[in-house]
Structure 1
């Protein structure tokens, strides 16, 4: 008497796997380009603002005895807001890849507002003279010291231009940020990689029984 297998032979008419959706042409490339552009604009803009804030924004002289004492004030002495917002923008530029959904939208808005606020603050302080007057009072020990020969440099406008680059990065994040990747996207909340679900064996599907036998499993359990 021959041995008869209890496992039925596999069927050859298994349904073909469903076709995977194909992304729209150009979507992936546009997303990558927007990520690169936002990173470049944001980092460059923040660097420009921080650099310009450390330069001389206003010059003048104060009378000290019979001499004229030269005075200068850099951007941080005039207004520290552009430099502070540039640091906020750098943090937001990193955080935008660490969050998703509504959180990413809020961080992108913060990035854009940092650029807008930095540009406005730099332009409003472009003709400010209070910082130089305070420097004159400190240097001459005379609160009524008069500042003469007041001149302003172009660095406030350079800082404003850098802040506008940050604003552009924020606009890109608002427009394309939903399609950008997120850091640690392939990890679950517990920090480990996603575990694949165990394969289920259907008792009414012979092909599943054969696959289980090929894996060394007992399909009768």
Structure 2
């Protein structure tokens, strides 16, 4: 009998707020985390899959490999939580093209790969997490923000032109919430709602959970 258990595919999620969101979602549903191999230790206790999001073929293979043999019901609730980023650091500069590749190209590769699953999932909620408040070198920050903004626009576009009918797409914009535990909990709860079956009446929205924090 096909599996109808709710499942959330998390891409990235190893930054400051990611683990808190993943732990919240995992209370109510099964979670599979896709990330670079060296990031798996951050999210223990969950199924982890190594995935290079800058490579569409590799992304497709990773998703299909993780779902192979699952025999899931096409109507089973499926969430896609996209939190991936290149990662940032003053000694590791990233170009604008790199940021757009992961925020737009990587995001598009994930959505297309899931749409190609057999049978095609019909009950899918996609959430693009856009963390715009960053502390880093100004030039890096500019590229990071542009990439995330482009990903937001792609997500909203898909809400009006979904690759599969009835899929929902929403953006969750967060700030430096990890410095405020209460706000972090609220963001995690909102992310959990958006990838759940209860959110299917909501699509094409940008939810902002940013709070100014003094340095």
Bigger helix share: 1
Question: Which has more radius of gyration?
Answer: 1
Q: TM-score, normalised by structure 1?
A: 0.24
Structure showing the higher strand proportion among its residues: 2
TM-score calculated relative to the size of structure 2: 0.24
